[in-house]
Amino acid sequence: MATTSVMGREIHVDAEGFLTEYDEWDEALGAELAAQIGIEMTEEHWTLVRFLRADYAETGQSATTRRVATVGGVPVKRQFELFPKKPGKKMAYVAGLPKPAGCV
Amino acid sequence: MTDTQPRSVPDFGDAEETDRKLVVICSKGNLDMAYPGLVLANAALGEGISVDLFFTFWGFDMITKNRQRKLAFSPVGNTAMHLPVGGRMPQWLSPFPGMTAIATRMLRKQINDVGVPPVDEFLDQIVASGGRLWACRMSADMQGLTMKDLRDDVEDIITAADFMDLSEGAQTLFI
């Protein structure tokens, strides 16, 4: 398994760079991951990321944009504004989760 | 054995300005055949790809206000229709009265069970993600339908020639 260094911390990542260890993440790391992909976190971003973390803890899967809309209550359009172009993957990355496995 | 990399950040393709473009032609009005185009269009939008959907012939039901929630599925002629108890559904049974309603209910439930929305809600999501919906002029004329019969988010009713402009340089899927 590969590791990478972020903020002087060793974290485990998969071949694409998504974190593989749920517990290695905290919000300071999340902010740094977001900065790496050009996203400045606002309270709205955090609400979404916290939902993803809690949902993953419950279901064992990264929520898709559909699930973030229907269960998390953030409309798909807003997700595209907060995490431009590839919201599903970017949200999961910032939240320290694997990329979503669902098709929809 | 761990392998430490200096910095590993996923490539979200933000650096290069992509002009990848997908056009999906939806020509079928059966419930099962509505989904392939919707799933792929939605996935493409989630990958930052520009998407246009063009509805023609039977596919018109997907964007017609009073029909888009009533798409049905018939097992007739479908040899891949399996019974919940196992085995293939006999073809002589498929055309029996009520079979379309039963098969439609089953399929709707299966789609819902995997968290995939009904056709109208799926189109809402696709439009919210930046997808554009277009209707075919000939189909509209044949069925006597106008823009007021179609979903409010349909961009326009366009001709085959307009479609050529729309699909220039795009990957095109005919479903």
CATH 3.40.1260.10 fits B21-71+117-174, yes or no: yes
Length of chain B equals 175
Does residue A56 contact residue A97 with C-beta atoms inside 8 Å? yes
Strand duo B50-55 + B132-136: pairing: parallel
Does residue B127 contact residue B99 with C-beta atoms inside 8 Å? no
The pTM (predicted TM-score) of the whole model is 0.90
Task: Pick the residue of B3, B7, B9 with the most A CBs within 10 A to test the interface with A by mutation.
Answer: B9
> What is the number of CB-based contacts under 8 A between chain A and chain B?
88
**Is the predicted pLDDT of residue A61 greater than 80, yes or no?**
yes
Q: What is the pLDDT of residues B128-145, one digit of tens each?
A: 999 999 999 999 999 999
Tokens describing residue B42: 């939605």
* Nearest-neighbour CA in chain A from B111: distance (Å): 11
Q: What is the pLDDT of residues B88-124, one digit of tens each?
A: 888 888 889 999 999 999 999 999 999 999 999 999 9
Nearest residue to A43 via CA among A82, A9, A12: A82
* Beta bridge partner(s), residue A4: A11, B5
Across chain A, mean pLDDT equals 94
Whether the complex's predicted ipTM is more than 0.90 is answered with: no
Q: Is B14 helix (H, G, I), strand (E, B) or coil?
A: coil
Between CA A74 and CA B128, with CA A54 as vertex, the angle to 5 degrees is 20
